[in-house]
């Protein structure tokens, strides 16, 4: 069993709840698809938790945004996040790869944040089929796993080279699909074939909301966290 997750966005209570679930699930491996930081008050703590567990992680667009010069007086999401990160934590972000390729006995897999083309490209569930087929062909892979949209799904695509699968993990810390609970994806391999399932978990939402309300971040971020079914 392998677990894939993404888009923690500095939401430490959500990440801790996710790890508690992992401690019970005990997967063989865990991969993170980026965006550890942004939109919340715990970017440094999230980075440290990921590093402590030595989780293979790729660079997200919010992580990448921290690698450029930021005015010390910048009051945007990017500026506030920058002041909450240490130099050492920024160095860690700067060393994250953009892609991870995994080869299994019967299939291959490419892990990206947005898409294989661009770190901030949105690959939603209704993305054009012909464009997806081209992505699979250009990257010579059977499965693409992405994040960035905060909208989880598993989509199968029939091509001339057989069945291809695109998976979005959704978001651990900032879902946008009407369900405030964090999401991640589990992969099991059965008879040489990968099977994916989107999972949800609860966390201390009010603790997360309260911290945002007491911070310098835009209070509209609370509305995103509070969404209900």
Q: What is the CATH number of the domain that holds 144?
A: 3.60.21.10
Enter the tokens of residue 166. 């695109």
Q: How confident is the model at residue 228 (pLDDT cuts 50, 70, 90)?
A: low
Q: How confident is the model at residue 227 (pLDDT cuts 50, 70, 90)?
A: confident
DSSP strands (E only) in the chain: 2-5, 29-32, 100-103, 108-111, 143-146, 153-159, 162-168, 182-190, 193-201
Please tell me the predicted confidence (pLDDT) of residue 160: 84
Instruction: Indicate if the pLDDT at residue 209 is higher than 80.
Output: yes
Please tell me the predicted confidence (pLDDT) of residue 194: 96
Instruction: Indicate if the pLDDT at residue 155 is higher than 70.
Output: yes
- The proportion of the chain whose per-residue pLDDT surpasses 90, expressed as a percent, equals 94
Provide the domain count of the chain. Answer: 1
Instruction: Give the tens place of pLDDT for each residue, 187-206.
Output: 999 988 999 999 999 999 99
Helix (H) / strand (E) containing 59: none
Enter the tokens of residue 67. 């690698």
Instruction: Indicate if the pLDDT at residue 131 is higher than 80.
Output: yes
**Residue 132: which domain range?**
2-225
Long-range contacts of 67-74 (CB under 8 A, 24+ apart): 67/93, 67/94
Enter the tokens of residue 124. 């939603």
Instruction: Give the tens place of pLDDT for each residue, 55-76.
Output: 999 999 999 999 999 998 999 9
pTM: 0.95
Q: For residues 129-138, give the mean pLDDT.
A: 94
Instruction: Indicate if the pLDDT at residue 97 is higher than 60.
Output: yes
- The proportion of the chain whose per-residue pLDDT surpasses 70, expressed as a percent, equals 99
Please tell me the predicted confidence (pLDDT) of residue 143: 97
Instruction: Indicate if the pLDDT at residue 21 is higher than 90.
Output: yes
* Cα dihedral sign, 114-118-122-126: negative
Instruction: Indicate if the pLDDT at residue 162 is higher than 90.
Output: no
């Amino acid at each position: 069993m392998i677990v894939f997750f993404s888009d923690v966005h500095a939401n430490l209570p959500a990440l801790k709840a996710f790890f508690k679930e992992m401690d019970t699930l005990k997967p063989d491996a865990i991969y993170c698809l980026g965006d550890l930081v942004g939109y919340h008050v715990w970017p440094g703590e999230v980075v440290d938790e990921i590093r402590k567990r030595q989780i293979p992680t790729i660079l997200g667009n919010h992580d990448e945004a921290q690698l450029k010069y930021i005015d010390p007086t910048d009051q945007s999401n990017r500026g506030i996040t920058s002041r909450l990160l240490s130099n050492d934590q920024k160095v860690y972000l700067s060393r994250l790869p953009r892609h991870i390729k995994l080869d299994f006995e019967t299939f291959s897999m490419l892990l990206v944040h947005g898409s294989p083309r661009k770190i901030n490209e949105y690959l939603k569930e209704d993305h054009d089929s012909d464009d997806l087929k081209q992505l699979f062909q250009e990257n010579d892979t059977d499965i693409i796993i992405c994040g960035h949209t905060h909208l989880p799904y598993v989509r199968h695509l029939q091509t001339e080279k057989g069945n291809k699968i695109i998976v979005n993990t959704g978001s651990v810390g900032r879902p946008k699909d009407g369900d405030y609970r964090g999401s991640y994806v589990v992969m099991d391999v059965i008879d040489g074939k990968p099977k994916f399932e989107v999972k949800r978990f609860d966390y201390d939402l009010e603790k997360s909301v309260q911290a945002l309300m007491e911070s310098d971040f835009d209070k509209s971020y609370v509305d995103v966290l509070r969404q209900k079914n």
